[in-house]
Structure 1
Amino acid sequence: MTDEPQLQAKRPVSSSLAGPYGHPFHPILVTVPIGAWVASLVFDIASRVVHRPDFLTQGSQWLIAVGVIGAVLAAIAGFLDLLAIPAGTPAFRTALVHMSLNLLVTAAYVGNFLWRYSTYTDSGSVGLGRLVLSAVSLAALGVSGFLGGKLAYRYGVRVADESTQAEGYTPGRNAKDVRSVV
């Protein structure tokens, strides 16, 4: 049987903003900054090995901007998920570290964008300092992602309770219908 604090962390504070029960928006929204920032680092590295790197340098800068916008949207949904977690619990402390790391990473990418924007007309490859800042920021994002996984997969934050999950493993008419589709 699941206790009340754990059930509380599974229910959205606002279904319309954070996603309905069992379908939180935060995990899908984080794919935007992760993808954009990984791609920007690839562009940064590639800009240092190609003959004419201007398009990669500019592309990386705008991928960083897309990532920042996506991170802000993910942060809103993530903050709403945080509000559902009872304070003083290990899940809440993990969520605070997860949020803090994400805010630091986003701030680092805002700084990185502004640093690049200040030299936007410069041609050439991405400077080593900017590339290192992106790599370190992405590593911190990886640590934060590990903590986000811990919140969902270990503590079950915003994940459907076990009785709801059991519906997917109960043989019956619906299971037969699904097999006929596949």
Structure 2
Amino acid sequence: MTQHVEQSKQPVNAVLAGPYGHPFHPILVTVPIGAWVSSLVFDIGSLIVDDPGYLARGALWLIAIGVVGALAAALVGALDLLAIPRGTRAFRTGLTHMSLNLAVTAAFVVGFFWRRATDEGPVGAGPFVLSIVALLALGVSGYLGGKLAYRYGVRVAAEATQAEGYRS
């Protein structure tokens, strides 16, 4: 079992996935999360203001930025998944995390094209609900990502390495 834990801490490719103890995936996921949450804020704003067009357009492009960021995070995250030994609880959690993220990204791609096909104005009920559902699923996926890092220690430096930060 110790061998499995140590294997999951090492990068498959340090140049692409980040060096030991400093993976790139957690850095990259902030782009889609921030963009998609901001798009929901813009959606809500589009329902409140008198001239909603600029907020609806902003939400549309925030969704696009989030999709591009999600694809970058997925590529690096897939490398981290490859470091986890197959057949383990951590690997199954990683597969579920990845599957949810791909479904969320697909939902936002659908939402992007749905919005592009509609007239200017406040966000429609369908795309609005789709964004809310996708963000809820993203929250579940984020919980699983946290479980991978903080409970299973995937791509997290070993405790002996962490102890260096607590020496005088």
Name the TM tier (shorter chain).
over 0.9
Q: CA deviation at 1:170?
A: 1.9
Measure how far apart 1:50 and its partner are.
0.6
Q: CA deviation at 1:9?
A: 0.2
**Distance in structure 2 (CA, Å) of the matches to 1:111 and 1:161:** 41
Matched with 1:164 is 161
Which runs of no fewer than 5 residues in structure 1 stay unpaired?
A: 172-182
Q: Name the structure 2 match of 1:57.
A: 56
> Who is 1:146 aligned against?
143
Aligned to 2:46: 47
Task: Give the match for residue 89 of structure 1.
Answer: 88
- Tell me the number of residue pairs that the alignment of Structure 1 and Structure 2 aligns: 168
**Match for residue 131 of structure 1?**
128
State the Cα distance separating 1:131 from its structure 2 match. 0.4
Task: Give CA deviations for 1:114-167 in whole Å, capped at 9, x if unaligned.
Answer: 111122xx2210001110000000000000000000000000000000110011
Residue of structure 2 equivalent to 1:67:
66
Query: What value does the CA root-mean-square deviation take over the aligned residues?
Result: 0.8
Matched, 1:115 2:102: no
The alignment status of 1:20 with 2:28, answered yes or no, reads no
TM-superposed CA distance for 1:75, in Å, is: 0.1
Task: For 2:131, give the aligned amino acid.
Answer: S
How many Å separate the matches in 1 of 2:138 and 2:113?
19
CA drift at 1:48: 0.4
**Equivalent-residue separation in structure 1 for 2:69 and 2:76 (angstroms):** 11
Detail structure 1 runs of 4+ shifted over 4 Å in the superposition.
none
